[in-house]
Copies of this chain bind each other. A is one copy, B any other.
Amino acid sequence: MKLLKEKIESEGIVLNENILKVDSFINHQMDPFLMKEIGKEFAKLFKGEHITKVLTIESSGIAPAIMTGLELEVPVIFARKRKSLTLTSDLYTAEVYSFTKQESSEITVSNKYMDAGDNVLIIDDFLANGQAAIGLAQLVRQAGGTVSGIGILIEKSFQPGAGEIRKQGYRLESLARIKSLADKQVQFADAKETIHQ
């Protein structure tokens, strides 16, 4: 997506070869016009999938997800993160390991809001190791629903998440794919380029 790539080029900050900061327009301060365009783009990409729900995870996924839900005219759910694993019968739960924070947390969705009739589009801001997206897909499967696709703003194609998601058979659409952050430079992958992880 051209607008997103331009934003990354002009405002993204490469901290090291693994970390791209996009705090000025996605992760802390947010650009509402960009989010709206992202919502339109995901709606266009997934419009044939009969999506019934958009699912994301707090907090950075919420803005692009709500714009996508607005375009697709379906409800949006954000999974909650919490520290401890406590079993409760009214929640779908999955464990997600954060490589950045080096800790596990649990993500949950109330069983009132997803069921076997749902075709779910998962939206998240970053795809690196794929833990969050795979955890969200587990929640959908616990509900008996279908993961109709995974929409990502920024895929770090040099990390294992994208490959893992495709291996699990999910349709993945990433609006910007980065093949390298070496030498403090963002290098995008071409649209169909396969990155060997």
Listed in ascending order, the chain A residues whose CB lies under 8 Å from chain B are: 23-25, 28-33, 35-36, 58-59, 62-63, 66-67, 69-70, 73-78, 80, 109-110, 112-113
Contacts of A77 in B (CB 8 A): 28-30
Are A28 and B110 neighbours in the complex by a CB distance under 8 Å?
yes
Smallest beta-carbon distance A37→chain B, Å: 11
Are B66 and A29 neighbours in the complex by a CB distance under 8 Å?
no
Contacts of A110 in B (CB 8 A): 23, 28-29
Are B29 and A76 neighbours in the complex by a CB distance under 8 Å?
yes
Are B113 and A31 neighbours in the complex by a CB distance under 8 Å?
no
Are A28 and B73 neighbours in the complex by a CB distance under 8 Å?
no
Indicate how many identical chains form the complex: 2
Contacts of A67 in B (CB 8 A): 32, 66
Q: Kindly state the separation between the CA atoms of A32 and B77 in the bound complex, as whole angstroms.
A: 10
- With CB as the reference atom, state the residue of chain B lying closest to A114: B29
Are B30 and A66 neighbours in the complex by a CB distance under 8 Å?
yes
Q: Kindly state the separation between the CA atoms of A83 and B31 in the bound complex, as whole angstroms.
A: 27
Contacts of A73 in B (CB 8 A): 32-33
Smallest beta-carbon distance A32→chain B, Å: 4
- Report 11 cross-chain contacts, Cβ distance below 8 Å, ordered by A residue: A23-B110, A28-B77, A29-B77, A32-B67, A32-B69, A32-B73, A33-B70, A58-B58, A58-B59, A59-B78, A66-B66
Contacts of A28 in B (CB 8 A): 77-78, 80, 109-110, 113
Q: Kindly state the separation between the CA atoms of A75 and B7 in the bound complex, as whole angstroms.
A: 14
Q: Kindly state the separation between the CA atoms of A78 and B35 in the bound complex, as whole angstroms.
A: 14
Nearest 8 pairs between A and B by C-beta? Answer: A32-B70, A58-B59, A32-B69, A62-B62, A63-B66, A29-B113, A30-B76, A59-B59
Q: Kindly state the separation between the CA atoms of A22 and B24 in the bound complex, as whole angstroms.
A: 31
